[in-house]
């Protein structure tokens, strides 16, 4: 068999396309040179992927073109794609160079740019696969300049977003970049914390996400990914400051949440707003800039599961973390009490947890007489409500990571009921709680408190946002109030108004 026939056969088997012969000739020439100049083993160890990576890092255009053609073919070939992607993923320099190639402007570089565009889609696909592993996420974050290059792909012009017939490769690049960043900001542990801050510290990240939210009505999938990224970033305090400090982001999230109805897009906006408002006075102030925000949230409380859940989360966080200057305005949320109490009586899991949590915050604006009146408006009496709280504690005898604040919120509300009871009503709630066996329940809970119940949310198994007061201290306070059977000002839930 002639050399040309052999090269043609190898090119066909490797699916190198019309430029296969040129690429293979250069590969074997370099392999032969390695054997002559060094050891025969140097030539034997060479492979096409490493060879192509070396070429795209060259200073010569013809070599770069050969390299990018080889990588493009190998990474799209069914037989070699998997091994090629795995090998490329260990060399961020190759992906960085491919991104750099997109910015080349000269006419003679047009083919390189075209190949690089396709290769970058593959590069982002590689990173997406790599980011499924926790250790790889750290490596991506530590690779010099790589995170900045990924963020670059999230920039997209309004014209492209508003054009339903825009280039598919451009849209896919934005989508894959957002997917990679989402995976990075949801990484757990110390690595995740560092990545969230690194992403937020890039001055283009949030403004690029804002552009997707503002102009991406024709690209709802991109909008959803952008909000997922914002939610993940908002788990970090400094990242929250960056998001809130970028004009228009909170306003856009509110608009999407209130106008998107029950669709998934609205739910994503609600989750982002709830996470932003958690333990952030600045975020709460930004949300409250919208004049009708409290009315809109109140009207969304009785919506179906996800929308109502997120409305309760946002409203609870606004009540808890907004600061005293907003107290008078927030006191109007008491009109939503019957809806919230109804959710407590019928809700389950997360809806139940957040409804009790919201009740504890609304109770900061009412006294016991007003609360009793709200019970009546909800079609309830004192016994029915207390029996429900007792039933919740009996159901959740042990902490559950799905609803880590369930028992905390219920005990806080029980403590508020006892603290707020007056001598004029004979300490009615205290007597009722004693009758229903609350002392024994609280004593059992005191033996099963967990560190899980001291945090707001979890990233995987890693807790985020610790409460100011431990759950065991709240249980002790409730037991003391129950034993005293009298008003104890400043104790219990009222003492942890922003936990």
Quote the domain boundaries for residue 431: 384-499
Would residue 480 count as lying in a domain?
yes
179 within a domain of the structure (yes/no): no
Position 380 pLDDT exceeds 60: yes
DSSP letter at 454 equals G
Q: Quick one: which of 97, 102, 182 has its CA closest to 144?
A: 97
Rounded Cα–Cα distance for residues 316 and 499 (Å): 11
**Would you state the pLDDT for residue 421?**
80
Q: What is the pLDDT of residues 258-302, one digit of tens each?
A: 998 667 899 999 999 999 999 999 999 999 999 999 999 999 998
Q: How confident is the model at residue 490 (pLDDT cuts 50, 70, 90)?
A: very low
Mean pLDDT of the chain: 84
Q: How far apart are the first and last CA of the chain?
A: 79
In a domain, 255, yes or no: no
Which of 130, 155, 185 is the last residue before a domain boundary? Answer: 130
- Report the distance separating Cα 277 and Cα 311, nearest Å: 12
Structural domain includes residue 467: yes
Most confident listed range (107-121, 405-419, 453-467): 405-419
User: Is the separation of the CB atoms in 266 and 307 below 8 Å?
Assistant: yes
Nearest residue to 275 (alpha-carbon basis) of 237, 303, 325, 308: 237
Q: What is the pLDDT of residue 299?
A: 92
> pTM value?
0.81
Note the pLDDT of residue 363.
95
How far is it, in rounded angstroms, from Cα 56 to Cα 66?
Answer: 8
Confidence of residue 492 (pLDDT cuts 50, 70, 90): very low
Is position 317 within any domain? no
CA distance 163 to 228: 23
Question: CB of 57 within 8 A of CB of 71?
Answer: no
Output the pLDDT for position 262. 62
Residue 427 φ/ψ region, left for φ over 0, alpha for ψ in the -120 to 50 degree band, beta for the rest: left
**Dihedral angle, C-alpha 355, 361, 365, 367, nearest 10 °:** 70
> In the predicted model, is pLDDT for residue 150 greater than 70?
yes
Task: Provide, rounded to the nearest whole percent, the portion of the chain with pLDDT above 70.
Answer: 81
Under the banding of pLDDT at 50, 70 and 90, the label for residue 84 is confident
Please determine, for residue 366, whether its predicted confidence score (pLDDT) is greater than 80. yes
Best CA proximity match to 321, nearest among 269, 357, 285 = 285
Rounded mean pLDDT of 43-62? 77
C-alpha angle with apex 306: 304 to 309, nearest 5 degrees?
A: 90
What's residue 169's pLDDT? 74
What does the alpha-carbon distance between residue 267 and residue 273 come to, in Å, rounded to a whole number?
A: 10
For residue 495, what pLDDT is reported? 41
Alpha carbons 197 and 190: distance in angstroms, whole number:
11
Q: Which residues on neighbouring strands pair with residue 459, listed in sequence order?
A: 462
The encoded tokens of residue 37 equal 């100049």
Span 219-225, mean pLDDT? 94
> What is the signed CA dihedral for 71, 73, 77, 79, rounded to 10 degrees?
-60
- Give the count of domains, the chain: 2
pLDDT at position 487, please? 44
464 in any annotated domain: yes
Query: pLDDT tens across 70-82, in order?
Result: 777 777 777 777 7
Who wins on pLDDT, 88 or 38? Answer: 38
Q: Where are the alpha helices (DSSP H) in 143-219?
A: 146-152, 158-162, 168-185, 189-201, 205-215
Does pLDDT of 137 surpass 80?
yes
Q: Give the dihedral of Cα atoms 8, 13, 16, 17; nearest 10 deg.
A: 70
**Dihedral over alpha carbons 458, 459, 465, 466 (to 10 degrees):** 50
Query: Residue 440 falls within a domain, yes or no?
Result: yes
Average pLDDT over residues 421-450: 84
Here the contacts of 75-84 (C-beta below 8 Å, separation 24 or greater) are 75/119, 75/122, 76/118, 76/122, 77/14, 77/15, 78/15, 79/15, 80/14, 80/15, 83/49, 84/49
User: What is the DSSP secondary structure assignment for residue 111, as one 8-state letter?
Assistant: H
Element (H, E) at 465: strand 462-466
Question: Is 436 a member of any domain?
Answer: yes
Model confidence at 488, pLDDT cuts 50, 70, 90, reads: very low
Among 10-14, 194-198, 484-488, which is the least confidently predicted range? 484-488
Domain-terminating residue out of 130, 150, 165: 130
Last residue of a domain, one of 113, 130, 147: 130
- Interatomic CA distance for residues 175 and 223, integer angstroms: 10
| Average pLDDT of span 32-37 | 79
What confidence score (pLDDT) does residue 106 get?
Answer: 54
In this prediction, residue 14 carries a pLDDT of: 64
What is the rounded distance in angstroms from the CA atom of residue 464 to the CA atom of residue 236? 8
pLDDT value of residue 104: 53
In this predicted structure, the answer to whether residue 303 has a pLDDT above a threshold of 90 is: no
More confident residue, 38 or 380: 380
Contact 312, 360 (CB under 8 A): no
Q: Give Dmax over CA atoms of the chain in angstroms.
A: 107
Which one is predicted more confidently, 325 or 492? 325
Q: 3-state class of 65 per DSSP?
A: helix
What per-residue confidence (pLDDT) applies to 7? 63
Res 88: pLDDT: 67
Please state the φ and ψ torsions of residue 229, each to the nearest 5 degrees.
-65, -45
Q: In this predicted structure, what is the pLDDT of residue 374?
A: 95
Q: What is the pLDDT of residues 325-361, one digit of tens each?
A: 999 999 999 999 999 999 999 999 999 999 999 999 9
């Amino acid at each position: 068999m002639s050399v040309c026939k052999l090269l043609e056969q190898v090119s066909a088997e490797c699916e190198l396309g019309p430029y296969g012969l040129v690429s293979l000739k250069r590969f074997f020439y370099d392999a032969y040179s390695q054997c002559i100049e060094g050891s025969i083993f140097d030539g034997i160890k060479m492979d096409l992927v490493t060879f192509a990576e070396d070429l795209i890092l060259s200073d010569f255009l013809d070599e770069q073109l050969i390299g990018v053609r080889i990588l493009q073919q190998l990474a799209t070939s069914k037989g070699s794609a998997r091994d090629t992607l795995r090998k490329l993923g260990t060399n961020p320099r190759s992906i960085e160079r491919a991104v750099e190639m997109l910015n080349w402007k000269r006419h003679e570089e047009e083919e390189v740019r075209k190949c690089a565009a396709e290769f970058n889609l593959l590069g982002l696909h590689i990173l997406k696969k790599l980011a499924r592993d926790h250790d790889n996420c750290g490596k991506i974050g530590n690779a010099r300049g790589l995170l900045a290059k990924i963020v670059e792909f999230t920039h997209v012009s309004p014209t492209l977003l508003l054009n339903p017939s825009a280039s598919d490769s451009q849209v896919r690049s934005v989508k894959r970049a957002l997917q990679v960043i989402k995976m990075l900001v949801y990484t757990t542990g110390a690595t995740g914390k560092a990545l969230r801050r690194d992403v937020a510290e890039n001055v283009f990240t949030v403004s690029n996400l804002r552009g997707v939210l503002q102009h991406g009505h024709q690209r709802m999938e991109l909008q959803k990914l952008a909000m997922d990224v914002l939610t993940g970033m908002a788990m970090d305090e400094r990242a929250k400051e960056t998001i809130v400090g970028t004009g228009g982001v909170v306003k856009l999230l509110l608009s999407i949440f209130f106008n998107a109805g029950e669709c998934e897009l609205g739910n994503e906006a609600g989750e982002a707003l709830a996470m932003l408002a958690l333990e952030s006075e600045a975020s709460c102030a930004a949300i409250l800039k919208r004049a009708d925000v409290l009315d809109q949230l109140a009207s969304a409380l009785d919506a179906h599961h996800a929308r109502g859940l997120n409305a309760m989360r946002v409203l609870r966080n606004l009540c808890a973390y907004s600061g005293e200057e907003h107290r008078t305005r927030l006191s109007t949320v008491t009109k939503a009490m019957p809806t919230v109490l109804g959710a407590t009586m019928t809700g389950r899991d997360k809806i139940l947890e957040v409804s009790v949590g919201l009740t504890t915050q609304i109770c900061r604006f009412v006294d016991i007489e007003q609360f009793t009146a709200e019970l009546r408006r909800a079609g309830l009496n004192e016994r029915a409500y207390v029996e429900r709280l007792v039933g919740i504690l009996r159901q959740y005898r042990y902490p559950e990571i799905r609803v880590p604040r369930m028992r905390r919120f219920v005990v806080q509300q029980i403590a508020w009921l006892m603290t707020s009871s007056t001598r004029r009503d004979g300490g009615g709630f205290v007597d009722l709680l004693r009758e229903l066996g609350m002392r024994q329940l609280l004593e059992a809970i005191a033996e099963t408190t967990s560190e899980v119940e001291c945090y707001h949310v979890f990233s995987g198994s890693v807790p985020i946002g610790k409460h100011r007061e431990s759950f065991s201290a709240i249980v002790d306070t409730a037991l003391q109030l129950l034993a005293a059977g009298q008003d104890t000002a400043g104790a219990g839930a009222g003492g942890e108004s922003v936990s």
